[in-house]
């Protein structure tokens, strides 16, 4: 090749590969004003919890519902639960295990998902952590009796999943993210569901929960309707429909990591039955403030995961300054229920500082109810959790769920869940 051609070739290939560079420089965070949770869109000031609930909470909720996560299009026609497997002497006699098949029906179409439930022996009325897992219920434990999911699964080297299908090989490969023994020893249960059984995580709306609701000829949700995060949140509520009727369960705390932390927050905002909400490293579209444009931005997330949010959210890609809300108001929708926002200092993509500030700005609403929030003078000192009704920690280390995280969640839950 001649030098000019070589240069042109190099320029084109590098341009093709060029990704918008994420900002990790605090001095380059744009100046922005955080929308006040206590001033309505019309400029009215909110001074008590009643006004918040009647005026402000509703308008914020509706904005998130229509413009960000998307509306659930209709009610289900039917749903059913069936305990398909039970062992009262599971995990070396520490737990009762139940596997519950949940059936959802709409327009003569149906979808089934399985809840794996462990309840501690000796606590007849246990609080339970409910959280999605990324690759199947059988990955969270070595327990040989946990059913392996047969729906589409993202290939993963770590999980040894190929051909988009989970097998025996991946059993127990994610036990590190689920401190099941610790939960049981402290009198807590765990309920978990493989999120792909609600909606496979790919940019394809032909399958999963969305497809049950289509009219004749429809192939994807309408502009203001739900993306995958809202579908996953809806699935958590359907799991809750079962859990709230299990007489051995007292309270349910909804938990999620990363994209599933976003789903847990939206589930907490849409469903008041969750007694507490935990967002672990949920980042952009979760706990982190979007207007900081630090790490992942709305443009990045809508490009990489076009199916996560409602179609209407795309108009805010690279236009964060035009958003009349920010994610601290999502947190505020959960008030006055206990809420734990957890970050990891090396998880720069999720903007850990933006998650902390977001919790601080949501506090005003908790304070209206006389609850302890994360105040503006609180600091995010690494590995120094703040455990009030609003709780926060900045863990050392990376984007993950570690034993450390569960230690804090359990300690915190002791203050309200039993």
State the residue for tokens 């993963």. Answer: 156
Give 98 or 259: the residue with its C-beta nearer to ligand GTR.
259
| Residue 283 is a binding residue for ligand GTR (CB under 6 A) | yes
Helix (H) or strand (E) holding 183: helix 180-185
Give 12 or 203: the residue with its C-beta nearer to ligand GTR.
203
Taking alpha carbons only, the member of 66, 71, 195 closest to residue 135 is 195
The footprint of ligand GTR on residues 349-408 (CB under 6 A) is none
Q: What share of the chain is helix, strand, coil (3-state, %, to 5)?
A: 35, 20, 45
The least CB distance from residue 284 to ligand GTR, in Å, is 5
The least CB distance from residue 177 to ligand GTR, in Å, is 12
Stretch that binds ligand GTR, among 55-63, 73-81, 296-304, 357-365 (CB under 6 A): 296-304
Give 99 or 192: the residue with its C-beta nearer to ligand GTR.
192
What lies within 8 Å, CB to CB, of 93 at 6+ separation is 121
Beta sheet of 276-280, edge-to-edge order: 78-90, 95-106, 109-120, 189-194, 126-133, 249-257, 276-280, 339-344, 390-395, 386-387
DSSP letter, residue 229: H
| Residue 330 is a binding residue for ligand GTR (CB under 6 A) | no
| Residue 96 is a binding residue for ligand GTR (CB under 6 A) | no
- Find the binder of ligand GTR among 97, 174, 259, 328 (CB under 6 A): 259
State the residue for tokens 């809750």. Answer: 240
Answer whether 180's CB lies under 8 Å from 190's CB: yes
Give 296 or 405: the residue with its C-beta nearer to ligand GTR.
296
The least CB distance from residue 283 to ligand GTR, in Å, is 5
Residue 272 sits at the vertex; the CA angle it makes with 105 and 214, to the nearest 5 degrees, is: 25
Give 116 or 284: the residue with its C-beta nearer to ligand GTR.
284
State the residue for tokens 């976003």. Answer: 262
- Find the binder of ligand GTR among 258, 270, 302, 329 (CB under 6 A): 258
- Find the binder of ligand GTR among 46, 91, 265, 301 (CB under 6 A): 301
Interface residues toward ligand GTR, by CB under 6 A: 258-259, 283-284, 296, 301, 304
């Amino acid at each position: 090749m001649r030098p000019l051609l070589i240069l042109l070739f190099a320029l084109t290939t590098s341009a093709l590969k060029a990704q918008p560079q994420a900002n990790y420089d605090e001095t380059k965070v744009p100046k922005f004003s955080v929308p006040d949770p206590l001033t309505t869109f019309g400029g009215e000031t909110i001074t008590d919890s009643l006004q918040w609930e009647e005026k402000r909470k509703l308008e914020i909720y509706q904005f998130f519902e229509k413009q960000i996560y998307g509306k659930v299009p209709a009610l289900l026609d039917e749903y059913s639960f069936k305990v398909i497997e039970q062992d009262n002497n599971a995990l070396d006699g520490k737990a009762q295990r139940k596997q519950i098949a949940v059936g959802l029906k709409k327009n003569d179409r149906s979808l089934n998902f399985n809840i794996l439930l462990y309840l501690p022996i000796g606590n007849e009325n246990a609080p339970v952590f409910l959280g999605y897992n990324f690759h199947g219920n059988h990955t969270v434990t070595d327990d040989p009796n946990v059913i392996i999911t047969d729906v589409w699964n993202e290939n993963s080297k770590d999980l040894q999943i190929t051909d988009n299908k989970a097998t025996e090989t991946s059993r127990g490969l994610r036990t590190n993210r689920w401190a099941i023994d610790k939960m049981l020893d402290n009198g807590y249960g765990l309920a978990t569901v493989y999120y792909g059984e609600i909606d496979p995580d790919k940019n394809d709306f032909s399958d999963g929960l969305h497809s049950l609701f289509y009219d004749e000829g429809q192939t994807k949700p309408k502009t203001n309707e739900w993306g995958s995060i809202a579908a996953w949140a809806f699935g958590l509520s359907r799991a809750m429909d079962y859990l709230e009727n299990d007489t051995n369960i007292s309270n349910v705390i909804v938990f999620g990591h990363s994209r599933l932390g976003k789903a847990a927050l939206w589930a907490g905002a849409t469903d008041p039955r969750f007694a507490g909400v935990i967002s672990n490293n949920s980042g952009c579209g979760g706990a982190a403030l979007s207007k900081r444009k630090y790490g992942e931005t709305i443009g990045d997330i809508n490009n990489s995961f076009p199916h996560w949010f409602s179609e209407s959210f795309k108009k805010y890609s690279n236009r964060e300054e035009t958003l009349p809300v920010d994610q601290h108001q999502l947190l505020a929708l959960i008030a006055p229920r206990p809420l734990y926002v957890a970050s990891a200092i090396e998880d720069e993509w999720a903007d850990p500082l933006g998650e902390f500030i977001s919790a601080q700005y949501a506090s005003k609403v908790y304070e209206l109810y006389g609850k302890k929030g994360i105040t503006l003078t609180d600091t995010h000192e690494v590995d120094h959790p703040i455990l009030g009704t609003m709780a926060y920690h900045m863990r050392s280390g990376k984007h993950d769920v570690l034993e450390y995280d569960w230690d804090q969640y359990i300690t915190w839950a002791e203050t309200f869940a039993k």
